Amino acid sequence: MAVQGGPTGPFGALLRRWKWRAGSIVLLVGAVAWALPHWLVGPETPVHVAVRGELVHSIVATGHVETPYRAEIGSQVTGTVKDVLVEEGQSVAVGQPLIVLDTTELDAAVVAAEGAVAQADARVRQMRELTRPAAEEALKQARANLENARVAYDRATRLARSGSGTQATLDEATRALNVAQAVMRTAELQVYTSSPGGSDHVMAETQLGQARANLDTARARLGYATIRAPRDGTLITRSVERGSVVQPGKTLLVLAPAGDIQLVVQIDEKNLSLIAIGQDALASADAYPDRRFAATVRYINPSVDIARASVEVKLTVADPPAYLRQDMTVSVDIAVDRRTDAVVLPMRTIHEPASGAPWVLVVRGGRAERQPVRLGLRAMDRVQILEGVAPGEAVLPLTSAVGAGRRIRPVAQ
Residues 302-348: tens digit of each pLDDT: 999 889 899 999 999 988 888 888 889 999 999 888 888 899 999 99
Longest dimension (CA), the chain: 212
The rounded mean pLDDT for the chain is: 86
Res 3: pLDDT: 43
Residue 35 pLDDT more than 50? Answer: no
Axis-axis angle for helices 132-162, 167-194 (nearest 10) = 160
Amino acid identity of residue 325, one-letter, is R
Res 124: pLDDT: 85
C-alpha dist (Å) from residue 85 to 52, 70, 220, 299: 62, 20, 21, 37
**CA 119 to chain CA centroid, nearest Å:** 51
Tell me what the mean pLDDT of segment 154-180 comes to: 85
Q: How many Å apart are CA 352 and CA 108, to the nearest integer? A: 87
With H, G, I as helix, E, B as strand and everything else as coil, classify residue 256: strand
**CA 37 to chain CA centroid, nearest Å:** 68
Is the model more confident about 10 or about 124?
124
Beta strands 409-412 and 44-49, pairing class: parallel
Res 1: pLDDT: 40
Res 39: pLDDT: 47
Q: How many Å apart are CA 273 and CA 7, to the nearest integer? A: 91
Q: Which residues contact 290 (CB under 8 A, 6 or more apart)?
A: 284
Q: How many Å apart are CA 146 and CA 182, to the nearest integer? A: 9
Residue 31 pLDDT more than 70? Answer: no
Residue 63 pLDDT more than 90? Answer: yes
Res 33: pLDDT: 45
Res 2: pLDDT: 41
Q: Which value, in Å, is the radius of gyration of the alpha carbons in the chain?
A: 53
Task: Say what percent of the chain tops pLDDT 90.
Answer: 46
Res 24: pLDDT: 58
Res 356: pLDDT: 86
Q: How many Å apart are CA 81 and CA 100, to the nearest integer? A: 6
Tell me what the mean pLDDT of segment 147-155 comes to: 89
Res 242: pLDDT: 93
Tell me what the mean pLDDT of segment 34-47 comes to: 64
Strand partners, 281: 295, 334
Q: Which of 163-177, 331-345, 349-363 has the lowest mean pLDDT?
A: 163-177
Structure confidence by residue, pLDDT tens digits, 65-110:
988 778 899 999 999 999 999 998 888 999 999 999 999 999 999 9
Structure confidence by residue, pLDDT tens digits, 200-220:
888 888 999 999 999 999 999
pLDDT class of 297 with cuts at 50, 70, 90? very high
Res 339: pLDDT: 87
HSE-up of residue 265 (Cα within 13 Å, Cβ side):
28
Residue 32 pLDDT more than 50? Answer: no
Q: Which of 87-91, 235-239, 259-263, 270-274 has the lowest mean pLDDT?
A: 259-263
Res 17: pLDDT: 58
Amino acid identity of residue 144, one-letter, is A
HSE-up of residue 288 (Cα within 13 Å, Cβ side):
12
Res 44: pLDDT: 85
pLDDT class of 41 with cuts at 50, 70, 90? low
Res 19: pLDDT: 56
Residue 20 pLDDT more than 80? Answer: no
